[in-house]
């Protein structure tokens, strides 16, 4: 459904009753404070919610959802707001249910390789809690110091090490979810293969459109005994991508295979002084892990393949400190981009791994055509690109060119047989691409599933699926893209 | 192919569409007449779920067996769902790749059947289950339209992950026409150890496997009537030669004191065949098979309970994943044992019959007691198959009465 703005008189009543559920300090509704919640990590579209509530328990989420339903007010869950696709953008306003105060790690059971966490637990906290015992939580998005596990569940987040270990859905065993009618359901759990449909599997990645996930059972993984981290230095992006193809083609599944191009190298070098060669065209972070026995041989094979693809040199992280600094450079690369331009827009395209060289050439051409600088730092082993378009949001012409270039990049991903999002989600940003990726029949099938979970559409309206027929109707754009109107 | 086929005692007309479009046409025709459709792949799971009661049409899926695209260097493959598992593995092996699920009866089993019935085996500990390999799926909806989700790239979060719903749905949400899988490189070296355990050491063995320095890709407990010990631990390793050799040596050391007789090392060239045979021991073509789930830490104890309740049963437990299967000895009706096994399985545990002769196949014995979340499954089935034409009654969420009406 497409939602209309909530009437001011309704908002007043709503706030009063919400305060009855979460207390006066459990919500915010002043216009100044709400500014923080008008967008997430994707800043090109904005829309302010009417109120943000901070429940501390599932029971409060139930009451909030029931109240929204009674008053016919749209609502959506939010974790830390690190979405890069507008997943937390409150289209049409309404209530944001922030899970930020539901942040307890409820159970850690290493013998059974699982943990039960509240949705607002920060991804990194879980690994920090268990690392001294030799375990970790595998999905490691670059924002893992800030993003919540609930948010990861919503978008089926990835991260550098998902190449070997899988994405969020491969590590979520069950969830507690407050359904859009206020019922609490437990789907799956720490016991595997329960009879019936895999509802957990379809809830992961549903971007908050099926209800509010309040808890998750996640799988824990033993740390590898040993790790070898290599840095391949290449004269050109082309050579680096050819090396990626060669490594994967040789049947090696590295723990991570990440590429940084020269523009991003400059930014991270300024920020972290790692010692990256600033004259390099691209570098590859290549990591293998597992048992110590044989790991040097595997690292040597990778080094040989990199050199066969014209790597100028291959360095080894000799100490754990060096390795951690290398990963810090990679994971905080987005933050370092602030040194290059006042604003940036990160894209999330995917292509078959063998199409990476062609795709990167296209990105360069698109950047040149639109007179934009585009930096690349991405999960090369998965074919998951993150071109970062640099601009100044105070200049409307640059903003327009960023939008156009972004769309051309994503169209090119589709042309090469890929997808418009590998891990950030559709959100509001990519909703128009859904009808390019999927036929009306494909979308109708997805709409039926949403209908089963969320029949009146009040939960996260206008997300993930385009409103049927939206593209064809003139004037629809305003309703579907209220945020874009606000930003432009 | 025979013009008719027996499903649960119903002698039904059978068709064998050769293209996804022909499959869609069959669905359209049957939707118009409200007639149910029963999908058959390798015919290995006809004894699963609640019996069919409404006459309809059998659809053989095995003619849908084309390879659509195999970009080996991308490590993905797109195939039609009726392809036999052994043929799929042969094609993958030519590129030194594999689908690392230990599927029983691979010459008969179809990929679609494996996915629909969510079949997995020993190496799920390392590689996961069918849900972890499907990256794109095309199914036929109840209007006879081909609908796809996912895609052909290994990482993709565009749209709902419909494949998760279809994997394990026993065809109740529509037939799979085409599947894109991500595949893995064939491990350079594989090894298996068989450790006949001293009496009463099965739980200790499972605990030790949990924390051992070696990182096995499989750890199974097996009870075979007439074997050298009540329980034999099977440990699988794969990877580069030095890593496998180190682990084999290490595991022999770590488990030596639990071994009743000498630890047996399988010949490297027989590992594949052995893993398949192991899977087949607890998946016989006929008879009853019980399946149970519990927390990993309880698996060995639960397996012993099942064996004590059914002396002479073949029991195959995967303590790393908390699942086990048991072949019910002939003449034994296991239905009365299920409630006790559920209690023994502990919180979240389950026990059901994965397959059984028709008179034993009630909803409770096949799927366990009804659970609250089945309301969501029923809502999904109402949306996706309102007339209940897809394998009606197989699972509790798509009940259809004999008079043809959905209930």
User: HEC states along chain B?
Assistant: CCCEEEECCEEEEEECCCCHHHHHHHHHHHHHHCCCEEEECCCCCCCCCCCCCCCCEEEECCCCCCEEECCHHHCEEEEECCCEHHHHHHHHHCCCEECCCCCCCCCCCEHHHHHHCCCCCCCHHHHCCHHHCEEEEEEECCCCCEEEEECCCCCCCCCCCHHHHHCCCCCCCCCEEEEEEECEECCCEEEEEEEEECCCCHHHHHHHHHHCCCCCCEEEEEECCCCCCCCEEEEEEEECHHHHHHHHHHHHHHHHHHECCCCEECCHHHHHHHHHHHHHHCCCCCCCEEEEECCHHHHHHHHHHHHHHCCCCEEEEECCCCEEEEECCCCCCHHHHHHHHHHHHCCCCEEEEEECCHHHCCHHHHHCCCCCCHHHHHHHHHHHCCCCCECCCCCHHHCECCCCCEC
Q: Within its chain, how far is the Cα of B384 from the centroid?
A: 23
Please state, in angstroms and rounded to a whole number, the distance separating the CA atoms of residues B66 and B84.
Answer: 10
Residue A488 has pLDDT above 60, yes or no: no
Range A8-15 average pLDDT? 93
Neighbours of B345 (CB within 10 A): 23
| Closest residue of chain A to B161, computed from CA coordinates | A202
Question: Do A382 and B147 make contact, defined as CB atoms within 8 angstroms?
Answer: no
**Domain residue ranges in chain A:** 105-222, 225-333, 341-426
Cβ atoms of A235 and A300 closer than 8 Å? no
Around Cβ A77, how many Cβ atoms within 10 Å?
29
pLDDT of amino acid B285? 83
Q: What pLDDT sits at residue A335?
A: 83
CA dihedral B223, B228, B230, B231 (to 10 degrees): -60
Burial of B85 (0-12, 13-18, 19+ CB in 10 A): buried
Mark A369-402 as b/e (b = at least 16 C-beta within 10 Å).
ebebebbbbbbbbbbbbbbbbbbebeeeebbebb
CA-nearest of B164, B168, B161, B150 to A206 is B161
Q: Is the fold of B189-279 the same as that of B284-362? A: yes
Quick one: average pLDDT of A445-462? 96
B contact test, residue of A138, A164, A169, A196 with most B CBs within 10 A:
A196
Count of CB atoms situated within 10 Å of the CB of B35: 17
What average pLDDT score do residues A182-203 get?
98
Q: In what order do the strands lie in the sheet with B4-7?
A: B4-7, B10-15, B57-60, B37-40
Confidence (pLDDT) at A332: 86
Residue B215 contacts by C-beta under 8 Å, 6 or more apart in sequence? A222, A225, A290, A291, B237, B247
pLDDT band at A336 (very low <50, low <70, confident <90, very high): confident
Which strands form B134-140's sheet, in the order they lie side by side? B67-69, B76-80, B176-182, B134-140, B146-150
Which residue, among A167, A315, A166, has the nearest Cα to A233 in the 3D structure?
A315
The reported pLDDT for the residue numbered B407 is 54
Fold topology of B284-362: Alpha-Beta Plaits (3.30.70)
Residue A486 contacts B where some CB pair is shorter than 8 Å? no
Over range A352-371, report the average pLDDT.
95
Lowest pLDDT segment from A130-139, A292-301, B127-136: A292-301
Nearest Cα of chain B lies from the Cα of A476 at a distance, in angstroms, of 21
Q: CA geometry: angle at A407 spanning A420 and A485, to 5°? A: 110
Contacts of A433 in chain B (CB under 8 A): 158
- Mutation target among B98, B154, B158, B291 for the A interface, most CBs of A within 10 A: B158
Residue B380, sorted as left (phi over 0), alpha (psi -120 to 50) or beta, turns out to be: alpha
Cβ–Cβ below 8 Å for A383 and B154: yes
Residue B54 has a pLDDT of 94
Which one has a higher pLDDT value, B341 or A394? B341
In the CATH hierarchy, which top-level class contains the domain B189-279? alpha beta
* Cα-trace Rg, chain A: 23
ipTM above 0.85, yes or no: yes
Task: Say whether domain A225-333 belongs to CATH 3.90.1150.10.
Answer: no
CB A482 within 8 A of CB A91: yes
Q: With an 8 Å Cβ cutoff, are B158 and A417 in contact?
A: no
Residues of A in contact with B184 (CB under 8 A): 253
A264-282 pLDDT, tens digit each: 999 999 988 888 999 999 9
Residue A481 pLDDT = 41
- The whole-number pLDDT of residue B379 equals 97
For chain B, which residues make up each domain, given as ranges? 4-61+375-398, 67-185, 189-279, 284-362
pLDDT for the residue A62: 98
SS3 A315: strand
| Fold agreement (A225-333, A341-426) | yes
CA angle A112-A114-A116, nearest 5°?
A: 130
pLDDT at B406: 58
Q: What pLDDT does residue B403 have?
A: 60
pLDDT of residue A334: 82
Contacting residues of A for B353, CB less than 8 Å apart: none
Nearest by CB: B296 against A112, A162, A196: A112
CB A45, CB A4: distance < 8 Å:
no
Write out residues 130-169 of A within 8 Å (CB-CB) of B: 155-156, 158, 162, 166-167, 169
Q: CA A227 → CA A67, A176, A195, A254, A255, distances in Å? A: 51, 35, 38, 10, 9
What does the alpha-carbon distance between residue A394 and residue A233 come to, in Å, rounded to a whole number?
Answer: 36
Whole-number pLDDT of residue A473:
34
Size of the A and B interface in Cβ pairs below 8 Å:
251
> What is the rounded (10 degree) CA torsion for A356, A357, A362, A367?
90
Q: What is the pTM (predicted TM-score) of this model?
A: 0.95
Closest partner CB to A111 (pick from B160, B297, B372): B297
Q: What is the pLDDT of residue B270?
A: 82
The pLDDT, as a whole number, for residue B318 is: 97
In sequence order, what DSSP letters do the residues of A347-375 get, joined into one string?
---B--GGGHHHHHHHHHHHHHHTT-EEE
Q: Which residues of B touch A352 (CB under 8 A)?
A: 71, 74, 76, 152-153
Alpha carbons B315 and B155: distance in angstroms, whole number: 37
Can you tell me the mean pLDDT for A295-320?
94
Cβ of B145 within 8 Å of Cβ of A441? The answer is yes
pLDDT > 70: percent of chain A? 95
Report the side by side order of strands in the sheet with A51-53.
A27-28, A51-53, A95-98, A75-78
CA nearest B119: which of A274, B127, B109, B244? B109
Confirm or reject CATH 3.30.43 for domain B4-61+375-398, answering yes or no.
Answer: yes
**Domain A341-426 bears CATH identifier 3.10.310.10:** no
Strand partners, A215: A118, A176
| For residue A316, pLDDT beyond 90 | yes
Handedness of CA B126, B131, B136, B140 (dihedral sign): positive
Per-residue pLDDT of chain B (407 residues; tens, 9 = 90+): 678 999 999 999 999 999 999 999 999 999 999 999 999 999 999 999 999 999 999 999 999 999 999 999 999 999 999 999 999 999 999 999 999 999 999 999 999 999 999 999 999 999 999 999 999 999 999 999 999 999 999 999 999 999 999 999 999 999 999 999 999 999 999 999 999 999 999 999 999 999 899 999 999 999 999 888 899 999 999 999 999 999 999 999 999 999 998 999 988 778 888 888 888 988 998 899 999 999 999 999 999 999 999 999 999 999 999 999 999 999 999 999 999 999 999 999 999 999 999 999 999 999 999 999 999 999 999 999 999 999 999 999 999 876 655 55
Q: Candidates 3.40.47.40, 3.40.30.10, 3.40.190.10, 3.30.465.10; correct CATH number of A105-222? A: 3.30.465.10
Q: Does A449 touch chain B (CB under 8 A)?
A: yes
Domain at B67-185, CATH class: alpha beta
- Report pLDDT for B156: 95
Measured CA to CA, the distance from residue A120 to residue A443 in angstroms comes to 30
CA nearest to B344, candidates B310, B301, B314: B301
């Amino acid at each position: 459904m497409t939602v209309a703005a909530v009437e001011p008189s309704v908002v007043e009543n709503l706030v009063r009753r919400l305060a009855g559920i979460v207390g006066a300090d459990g919500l915010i509704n002043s216009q100044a404070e709400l500014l923080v919640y008008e967008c997430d990590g994707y800043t090109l579209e904005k829309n302010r919610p009417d109120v943000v509530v901070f429940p501390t328990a599932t029971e409060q989420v139930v009451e909030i959802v029931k109240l929204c339903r009674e008053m016919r007010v749209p609502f959506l869950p939010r974790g830390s707001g690190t979405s890069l696709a507008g997943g937390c953008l409150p289209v049409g306003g309404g209530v944001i249910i922030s899970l930020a105060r539901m942040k307890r790690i409820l159970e850690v059971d290493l013998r059974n390789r699982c943990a039960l966490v509240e949705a607002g637990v920060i991804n990194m906290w879980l690994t920090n809690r268990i690392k001294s015992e030799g375990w970790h939580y595998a999905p490691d998005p670059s924002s893992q110091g800030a993003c919540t596990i609930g948010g990861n569940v919503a978008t089926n987040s990835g991260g550098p090490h998902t190449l070997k270990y899988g994405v969020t859905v491969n590590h979520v065993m069950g969830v507690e979810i407050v359904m859009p009618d206020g019922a609490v359901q437990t789907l799956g759990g720490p016991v595997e293969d329960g009879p019936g449909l895999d509802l957990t599997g379809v809830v992961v990645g549903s971007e908050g459109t099926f209800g509010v996930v309040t808890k998750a059972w996640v799988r824990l993984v033993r740390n590898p005994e040993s790790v070898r981290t290599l840095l391949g230095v290449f004269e050109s992006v082309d050579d680096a991508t050819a090396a990626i193809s060669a490594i994967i083609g040789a049947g090696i599944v590295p723990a991570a295979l990440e590429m940084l191009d020269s523009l991003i190298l400059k930014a991270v070098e300024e920020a972290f002084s790692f010692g990256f060669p600033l004259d390099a065209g691209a570098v590859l972070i290549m990591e293998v892990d597992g048992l110590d026995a044989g790991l040097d041989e595997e690292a040597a094979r990778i080094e040989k393949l990199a050199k066969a693809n014209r790597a100028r040199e291959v360095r080894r992280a000799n100490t754990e400190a060096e390795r951690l600094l290398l990963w810090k450079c990679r994971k905080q690369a987005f933050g370092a981009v602030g040194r290059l331009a006042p604003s940036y827009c990160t894209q999330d395209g995917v292509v078959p791994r063998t199409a990476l060289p062609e795709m990167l050439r296209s990105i360069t051409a698109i950047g040149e055509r639109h007179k934009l600088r585009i930096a690349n730092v991405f999960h090369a082993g998965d074919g998951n690109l993150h071109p970062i378009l640099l601009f100044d949001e105070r200049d409307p012409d640059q903003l327009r060119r960023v939008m156009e270039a972004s769309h051309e990049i994503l169209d090119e991903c589709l042309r090469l047989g890929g997808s418009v999002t590998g891990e950030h989600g559709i959100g509001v940003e990519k909703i128009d691409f859904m009808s390019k990726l999927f036929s009306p029949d494909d979308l109708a099938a997805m709409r039926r599933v949403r209908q089963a979970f969320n029949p009146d559409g009040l939960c996260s309206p206008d997300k993930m699926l385009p409103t049927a027929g939206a593209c064809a109707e003139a004037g629809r754009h305003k309703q579907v893209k209220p945020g874009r109107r606000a930003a432009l | 192919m025979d013009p008719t086929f027996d499903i649960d005692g119903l002698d039904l007309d059978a068709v064998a569409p050769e293209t996804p479009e022909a499959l869609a046409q069959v669905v359209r025709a049957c939707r118009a007449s409200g007639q149910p459709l029963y999908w058959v792949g390798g015919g290995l799971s006809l004894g699963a779920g609640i019996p069919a009661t409404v006459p309809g049409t059998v659809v053989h899926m095995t003619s849908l067996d084309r390879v659509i695209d195999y970009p080996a260097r991308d490590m993905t493959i797109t195939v039609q769902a009726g392809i036999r598992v052994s043929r799929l593995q042969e094609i993958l092996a030519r590129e030194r790749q594999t689908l690392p699920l230990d599927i029983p009866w691979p010459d008969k089993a179809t990929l679609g059947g494996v996915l629909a019935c969510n079949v997995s085996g020993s190496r799920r500990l390392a590689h996961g289950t069918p849900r972890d390999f499907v990256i794109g799926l095309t199914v036929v909806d109840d209007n006879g339209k081909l609908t796809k989700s996912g895609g052909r790239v290994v990482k993709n979060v565009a749209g709902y992950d419909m494949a998760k719903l279809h994997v394990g749905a026993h065809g109740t949400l529509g037939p799979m026409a085409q599947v894109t899988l991500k595949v893995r490189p064939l491990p350079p070296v594989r090894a298996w150890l068989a450790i006949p355990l001293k009496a009463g050491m099965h739980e200790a063995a499972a605990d030790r496997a949990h924390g051992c320095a070696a990182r096995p890709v499989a750890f199974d407990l097996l009870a075979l009537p007439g074997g050298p010990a009540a329980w034999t631990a099977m440990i699988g390793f794969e990877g580069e030669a030095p890593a496998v050799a180190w682990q084999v040596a290490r595991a022999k050391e770590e488990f030596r004191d639990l071994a009743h007789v000498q630890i047996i090392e399988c010949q490297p060239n027989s590992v594949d065949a052995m893993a398949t045979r192991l899977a087949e021991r607890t998946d016989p073509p006929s008879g009853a098979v019980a399946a149970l789930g519990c927390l990993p830490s309880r698996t060995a104890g639960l397996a012993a309970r099942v064996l004590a309740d059914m002396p002479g049963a073949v029991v195959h437990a995967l303590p790393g994943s908390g699942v086990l299967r048991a072949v019910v000895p002939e003449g034994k009706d296991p239905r009365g044992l299920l409630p006790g096994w559920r209690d023994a399985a502990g919180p979240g545990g389950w026990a059901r019959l994965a397959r059984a002769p028709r008179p034993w196949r009630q909803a409770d014995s096949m799927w366990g007691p009804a659970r609250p979340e089945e309301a969501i499954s029923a809502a999904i089935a109402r949306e996706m198959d309102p007339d209940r034409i897809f394998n009606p009654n197989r699972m509790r969420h798509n009940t259809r009465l004999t008079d043809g009406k959905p209930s």
